[in-house]
Structure 1
Amino acid sequence: MIEITNEDIDAIETILFPNGSTFNESHRKVIKNLDTVDIKACPGSGKTTSLIAKLLIFEKKLPLENNRGICVLTHTNVGVNEIKRRSSQQEGGRLFQYPNHISTIQVFVNKYLAIPAYKHFFLDNVYSIDMDTYIENFKKLFYKISRGYRQNIERKFPVEDLWQKLVFDFEDDGTIYLGAKKLEDVYSNTTPTYQYLKDLKKGLLEKGILSFRDAYVMAFKFIKEYPEIRDLISARFKFLFIDEMQDTSPIQMKLLNEVFDKSQVTIQRIGDTNQAIFESSSEELSWKPEKRSLSLTESKRFSAAIAKCIDKICIEPQGVTGNNTIPIIEPTIIVFNDHNIEKVLPTFAELIIENNLHQNDRNVFKAVGRVSKPHPEGKITLPSYYPTFNKRNSKSVRFSYSSLQEYIDAINQIEDHNVNEYRRLLINCMLHALRIEEIRKDDKWYSEKALLQTLTEKNEQIAINLNRLIAKWVLNAKNGQPIHNEIAEFLTSKFVPLIKGSKQVTKELKDFCTITKNSVDNAVETEETEQKNSYFHAVKSGSELKINLDTVYNVKGETHTATLYLETFYKKYDLSNLMDYLKQNHTFPKGKEKINALCVAYVGLTRPSHLLCLSMRQETIDGNEEDLKKAGWNLLYIKD
């Protein structure tokens, strides 16, 4: 029977904390616990570090009894990469080897359920499970619909919304919904419109082009037909750890419950229900921690002054305590009116300079808000404070793009320097080229395995040199050298003709490999967007202080030196809606809107280590001044 001791934790501290920090008793209790339990953790409490410590201790004790594995699921690749980086520091790291599995929930669903299900039901390989590829192909098929019918559909359902609304039912994959209603209840199944939309949705699935939601549809279908999958997965994994549990959607929760048998698998769910925020208003919190849970309430991230002010601005106060080694700077509310709103960011910058935070070794300054788009009636949103603000495109690295140039651009977005990530990206680019040419093997889309096998059969030397070629491209790209023409030449003159058995390639492939004005414009636009979303403030020394603007959703998980939470309008002005909580008068929130507003505010307010500021309209603060001061807030009025 495996056991984690204080001696194990002492040894791992030297790896995780080279500066001499240690785990406190609450952390040690969490690390040593090997039972099924929920773990509630406040922001900056070290929950992920505690999980990593437990995993690294496990790694030294592998293999487990009967060679069972450890499964770790997260919601982003950030946590996965951190575990991977730490594991690589230990000799003989085995956490990322069979029978263990560490990935995002989506990758787990794809690998063990959706992809095998698709192969079983359609006797083919999945083309892609990727939202950008799905949306791109959805629109292509939609614009092939006869113009009159297409325009009638768009009057009710603009295509930008349609791809989200036209979905398969989770329980019965043969039923298609359009929004909340069955497709046949929106358009009669005798009409051409019904048939067009039905053919569009089913056509994408038959081509193997899946949305993330479709992957879950396939997963449920697979489990329904083969319930023994639950026994197989539960027999393989002895432990399941789920990080950031509050971000788990109801459908993810349902699937995990169906796949993992609690009687066979020890399950630990780790998160903070106060930080459950979703960009889609249709999503909701699915995780309710068990009463018998463990807690981590001491934050290493922020000062005691910040901890005092934010503890009640949440669904359920946890008695958060701050880090006493961080200097106390009084949390400040910057009060503005319609005539001086443009002075909010400069005032925040001056507070940063006044407290010498710009001289810190690590200085990250951000201004965040809930709503990023201009309001049609002129209500205050992020652009109201900084008119050039434009919500940036997601920087997350995908593995499917619409052009060769986008694949190359993605090389420099990969932060994890594991060569396998680069290799996977460029292999996917080659597979994409084969799909453009509609080249199959045994009437199936090529997989990586089939590709390497065919290359070996047709030209063993190219197969042998492939990894070396990919490494050269990546190195050159990282060094700023042009690689586009070389890869384009390889794809169109060597690779595709070799697999195809013909030197002729389609116009579509040539277009894919051509640098267009759009691809150049996209690169310029991305750079310009970065500039538009940054406010620069002059410092007397002659340097500049940079404050990045962003949405609360995009900064989740980050730590800033100073954060400014900007009041914005979402059905109501969000800080006005939360005034009682700002004054430390907590009542359990009722209604979905109040709960969502609290979670968004809590995430935004718990980012800074040293300085927390709010911007608040004069109308919001009127009559509440004394109560806010008693709650620990300093009030700073902007002068016209």
Structure 2
Amino acid sequence: MIEITNEDIDSIETILLPYGGKFEDDHRMVIRNLETVDIKACPGSGKTTTLIAKLLILEKKLPFINNQGICVLTHTNVGVNEIKERSSSQEASKLFQYPNHVSTIQIFVNKYLAIPSYKHFYNNNVYSIDQETYGENFHRAFLKIPRKYRININRKYNTDDLCNKLNFGLEEEGFIYLGNKKLSEVYSETSDTYNYLKELKNDLFNKGILSFHDAYVLAYKFLNKFPETRDLISARFRYLFIDEMQDTSSLQIELLYRVFDKEQVSIQCIGDENQAIFENSSGKLRWKPKNPLSLAESKRFSSSIADCVDKVCVKPQNIKGNLNINNIPPIILVFNDSNIENVLPTFSKIIIDNNLHNEDRKIFKAVGRVAKVHNEGHITIPSYFTSYIKSSNEKIKKSYQSLGEYLKAISQFNDPNVRGCRKLLINCLLNTMRIENIRIDGKWYTERKLVEKLEEKNKILVVNLNRHIARWVIKVKNDEDISVEISKFIMQKFIPFFKGDKQISNELKEFCNKEIYETNESSCITKQINTITYQDENTNDEIIVSIDTVHNVKGETHTATLYLETYFKQYDLMRIREYLKKKHIIPKGKELPEALSIAYVGLTRPTHLLCLAMRQDTIDGNEEDLKNAGWQIKYL
């Protein structure tokens, strides 16, 4: 039987914690526990450090009986990367080697279920499982439907909405749904509209261009056909750890419990239900921890911040702040339409007045819920910072619609490791092969098949390709324009290697020569830095404040955070005003729990200083209650 002792924990403290740092009793209890259990952790409680400590201790005890391993799943790549970075100090790490698995939930589903399912049932390779790639191809396919039918469809559904709602049923073979209804219940099966939409969905699927939902359809199909998959996966993994469990969708939860047998696998779900801010159409909490272990003491922020935010959530958990951090009372900056432009400079001055610019950590951010300009003039993030442009957190996609876009994406790649850039260039070459309908044994080429084919002809070809790619990456990083060079390589050497003297298609010529695919603004990678630089006129001290959405800063730690009041069906601070007064009522419906969760994530980012930007209309008549709740009020 595997056991974690206090001696094991002592040995890992020196690796993970600052000099002299110790795990508290509640952390030790969580680390030692290897049974199936839920773990509820408040912001800044050290849950990720605690999880990594447990993983590194278990890693030392590998191999387990019957060569079983550890499976770690999280909601985003940010979580995966943090685990990788913070566990990299271990020499000869086994955690990222077979039989272990560390990834996002989506990648796990793709690897073990969706991709094998597609290969088995459709005898072809998946092209992409990517919501952005799927969306772009969906939009282009929709534009091919005759205009009069498109207009009628768009009267009920805009194209983005249609893209998200047109899906195969999870358990019913071949049935297409439009939202919660079968497509045949929305449009008659004899109608042209029905047939156009059915053909669109089937065509994308048959090309291997899959949405995330398609991956789950394939996963369920595979499990139904091969129920023994559950036993195989459960026999491989002794432990399953799911981080950020609050952001896991009901669909993901149901599938994971169908894949992992809790009688064979110890399953530990870790998260904070108060921070569930990702898509939840029902408004209900999907993860409901049962008899959880609790990490309720925050190492991140001061006790004054903990005191003010503890009730601004769905379920209070009596957060305790860090007594070693100086208490700066949270501040409400009250503004109106005529002085809203003073909000960010005032916040900046407060940072300098409290000497926070001299802290070791100097991260100052202003965050809000809504990033888009409101068409009726209500306040959103750009109201405070007019040059703000919403970005998708600088996501780098796997697939683009032109050579120019691939090169632009590579130039924006922040990862110093060239593997990501190399992968994009390989994907670009594979894309050109798809355009020219070049297959192997009737299937699309993968990177592995491409390398095997080149090695089969001549191993020097693989070496030369790698040299080309390495040189191209360096040139792109040095801001050299190599689009003509790569275009010639593709059309004069790469494609002719497979097609011989056959003519190059116009579609490939267009792909190589079009610098940016102009029909979809979101498909272009832009590196927008939304910051202001503030210099104190008396001291000349200078700081930089970044402006972002709450969703984009989830998981971050700031020195000072300003939460900007924005409008989403209602002004968000007005909606949660009673909770800011420490008056907690169990929230009902969808809008209020969602607003509380988003505010809670935003308000729990700072270590030292928390400010709110609040409209005069929101605070009027509530000043005394807010002061009594611990807020200072500053009028602009």
TM (norm. structure 2) is: 0.95
Q: 1:524 to 1:195 in 2, by over 3 A?
A: closer
Taking only aligned residues, the RMSD between alpha carbons, in angstroms, comes to: 2.3
Report matched runs for 1:59-78 at 5 Å.
Answer: 59-78=59-78
Report the alpha carbon displacement of residue 120 of structure 1 after superposing the two structures with TM: 1.0
Name the CA distance, whole Å, in 1 between partners of 2:520 and 2:131. 22
Report the alpha carbon displacement of residue 418 of structure 1 after superposing the two structures with TM: 4.8
Show CA shifts across 1:359-394 (max 9, x none). 333322211111222333332222222233232234
Which AA in structure 2 matches 1:633?
A: W
Name the CA distance, whole Å, in 2 between partners of 1:39 and 1:223. 29
Report matched runs for 1:233-248 at 5 Å.
Answer: 233-248=233-248
Give yes or no for the alignment of 1:539 onto 2:539. Answer: no
Name the CA distance, whole Å, in 2 between partners of 1:283 and 1:131. 23
Report the alpha carbon displacement of residue 200 of structure 1 after superposing the two structures with TM: 0.4
| Secondary structure of the corresponding residue to residue 72 of structure 1 | strand
Report the alpha carbon displacement of residue 520 of structure 1 after superposing the two structures with TM: 14
Name the CA distance, whole Å, in 1 between partners of 2:81 and 2:518. 29
Name the CA distance, whole Å, in 1 between partners of 2:485 and 2:57. 46
Show CA shifts across 1:431-450 (max 9, x none). 11211111110111112221
Name the CA distance, whole Å, in 2 between partners of 1:321 and 1:110. 40
Q: Which residue of 1 aligns with 2:428?
A: 429
Q: Which residue of 1 aligns with 2:370?
A: 371
Name the CA distance, whole Å, in 2 between partners of 1:280 and 1:262. 26
Q: Which residue of 1 aligns with 2:328?
A: 329
Q: 1:437 to 1:481 in 2, by over 3 A?
A: same
419-428 or 519-528: bigger deviation: 519-528
302-311 or 274-283: bigger deviation: 274-283
Which AA in structure 2 matches 1:179?
A: G
Q: Which residue of 1 aligns with 2:573?
A: 575
| Secondary structure of the corresponding residue to residue 632 of structure 1 | coil
Q: CA contact under 8 A between 1:493 and 1:503: conserved in structure 2?
A: no
Q: CA contact under 8 A between 2:394 and 2:526: conserved in structure 1?
A: no
Q: CA contact under 8 A between 1:458 and 1:498: conserved in structure 2?
A: no
Q: CA contact under 8 A between 1:368 and 1:566: conserved in structure 2?
A: yes
Report the alpha carbon displacement of residue 171 of structure 1 after superposing the two structures with TM: 2.0
**Correspondent of 1:629 among 622, 627, 630:** 627
Which AA in structure 2 matches 1:621?
A: I
Name the CA distance, whole Å, in 2 between partners of 1:462 and 1:519. 35
| Secondary structure of the corresponding residue to residue 513 of structure 1 | helix
| Secondary structure of the corresponding residue to residue 324 of structure 1 | coil
- Structure 2 spans left out of the alignment, 5+ residues: none
Q: 1:83 to 1:465 in 2, by over 3 A?
A: farther
Name the CA distance, whole Å, in 2 between partners of 1:58 and 1:460. 41
Q: Which residue of 2 aligns with 1:124?
A: 124
Percentage identity across aligned positions?
61
Report the alpha carbon displacement of residue 354 of structure 1 after superposing the two structures with TM: 1.2
Q: CA contact under 8 A between 2:130 and 2:211: conserved in structure 1?
A: yes
Q: Which residue of 2 aligns with 1:111?
A: 111
- Structure 1 spans left out of the alignment, 5+ residues: none
Q: Which residue of 2 aligns with 1:409?
A: 408
Name the CA distance, whole Å, in 1 between partners of 2:573 and 2:423. 45
Which AA in structure 2 matches 1:509?
A: L
Give yes or no for the alignment of 1:302 onto 2:306. Answer: no
Q: Which residue of 1 aligns with 2:597?
A: 599
| Secondary structure of the corresponding residue to residue 572 of structure 1 | coil
Report the alpha carbon displacement of residue 569 of structure 1 after superposing the two structures with TM: 2.0
| Secondary structure of the corresponding residue to residue 267 of structure 1 | strand
Q: CA contact under 8 A between 1:301 and 1:323: conserved in structure 2?
A: yes
Which AA in structure 1 matches 2:613?
A: S
Q: Which residue of 2 aligns with 1:319?
A: 318
| Secondary structure of the corresponding residue to residue 513 of structure 2 | coil
574-583 or 403-412: bigger deviation: 403-412
472-481 or 518-527: bigger deviation: 518-527
Name the CA distance, whole Å, in 1 between partners of 2:148 and 2:75. 42
Equivalenced residue count is 635
Name the CA distance, whole Å, in 1 between partners of 2:32 and 2:275. 25
Q: Which residue of 2 aligns with 1:565?
A: 563
Runs of 4+ in structure 1 off by over 6 angstroms are 519-526
Which AA in structure 2 matches 1:199?
A: E
Q: CA contact under 8 A between 1:455 and 1:499: conserved in structure 2?
A: no
Report matched runs for 1:158-173 at 5 Å.
Answer: 158-173=158-173
| Secondary structure of the corresponding residue to residue 449 of structure 1 | helix
Which AA in structure 1 matches 2:339?
A: N
Q: CA contact under 8 A between 2:363 and 2:559: conserved in structure 1?
A: yes
Q: Which residue of 1 aligns with 2:175?
A: 175
236-245 or 453-462: bigger deviation: 453-462
